[in-house]
Amino acid sequence: MTRTTLGGVIPANLMPFTADLEIDEAAYRSHLRDLIGTRGVTAVTTVAHASEVASLSDAEQQRALAIAVEEANGAVGIVAGVYDTGNARAVQRAKMAAKEGADALLIFPSAAWDMGHQARPDMAYSYVSDIAGATDLPVIVFVYPTTSGLHIPTANLVRICAEVENVAAIKEWSNDIVTYERNFRELKSLDKHISVLSSFSKALLPSLCIGADGILSGHGSMIASLHVELFEAVERGDLAAARDVATRIYPITKVIYEDPFVDGHNRMKEALAILGRIDQAHVRPPLQRITEAERERIRSAVAGLSHEVNA
């Protein structure tokens, strides 16, 4: 990853907490080192969904980013999530990320969009352009599922990517293969290069076969090496190898992304605890720990891959 091009495998780290729900800095650093040291990982995303950004204070977000930059030490890039509601506050978060040494920004949609922003396309456009204009860092636009009120329709997404100078990539989480292909092909028709980073974690292989410049996913927090293996197999056109990797990933994917989706990152954290990568899978409210029965299903799913699942 460079400051102008984003690609390859970019896992989003989880955030370990102590029993009293403070950031477990030692476990966090260990988790980051595992990801940074995985061959083929080009960057790590922090202060994002997987790191429970909604529960992190301003000071905690800044500290989490600073630790990630320190641990990476230039070996891989660090992508900082910008998660807020209003333009002005989001701009301040972007400036903080630049000051702390982030290499790129991942712009989450504003919750204010959830009441019909598709009818007012300038809402998303101005949000992204204001944040992007606050620094010279490359920007990744986060595309939410088509079923979400936060989804950016293709026409507005193309406009944003074409016209906002330092928008360099999208995190494509539309969760709809038709929309994914439309977004991919429309963006690739632009004169400007826009990296399409698949976040289609429930069905990575189909999205990669359409085309992708990389993978950006919280799922990579536990299976980064498998994401690398899958991405590289597709890149070299080895469909048989890609299918083999997808088959090995499937049992973990199935259990992590079963309903309710809100527990997805909780389950990933439980998997890390089962694998001995963190001590306990504590989560901050309003998130709730999963049941013991579900924990057993995760234990069964990861048992066959314990030698190749990343922390």
* Average pLDDT taken over every residue of the chain: 95
pLDDT tens-place string over residues 3-35: 446 999 999 999 999 999 999 999 999 999 999
Could you tell me the pTM of the whole model? Answer: 0.95
Do the domain assignments include residue 176? yes
How many folded domains does the chain comprise?
1
Do the domain assignments include residue 61? yes
Do the domain assignments include residue 152? yes
Share above pLDDT 90 across residues of the chain, in percent, rounded to a whole number: 93
pLDDT tens-place string over residues 38-85: 999 999 999 999 999 999 999 999 999 999 999 999 999 999 999 999
Do the domain assignments include residue 263? no
Q: How many CA atoms lie within 13 A of 101 on its CB side?
A: 14
Supply 95's token pair. Answer: 């400036």
pLDDT tens-place string over residues 251-301: 999 999 999 999 999 999 999 999 988 988 999 999 999 999 999 999 999
Do the domain assignments include residue 203? yes
Do the domain assignments include residue 134? yes
Do the domain assignments include residue 292? no
Q: Return the HEC string of the chain.
A: CCCCCCCEEEEECCCCECCCCCECHHHHHHHHHHHHCCCCECEEEECCHHHCHHHCCHHHHHHHHHHHHHHHCCCCEEEEEECCCCHHHHHHHHHHHHHHCCCEEEECCCHHHHHCHHHCCHHHHHHHHHHHCCCCCCEEEEECCCCCCCCCCHHHHHHHHHHCCCEEEEEECCCCHHHHHHHHHHHHCCCCCCEEEECCHHHHHHHHHHCCCEEEECCHHHHHHHHHHHHHHHHCCCHHHHHHHHHHHHHHHHHHCCCCHHHHHHHHHHHHHHCCCCCCCCCCCCCCCCCHHHHHHHHHHHHCCCCCCCC
pLDDT tens-place string over residues 210-237: 999 999 999 999 999 999 999 999 999 9
Range of the domain at 21: 8-236
Do the domain assignments include residue 55? yes
CATH of the domain at 66: 3.20.20.70
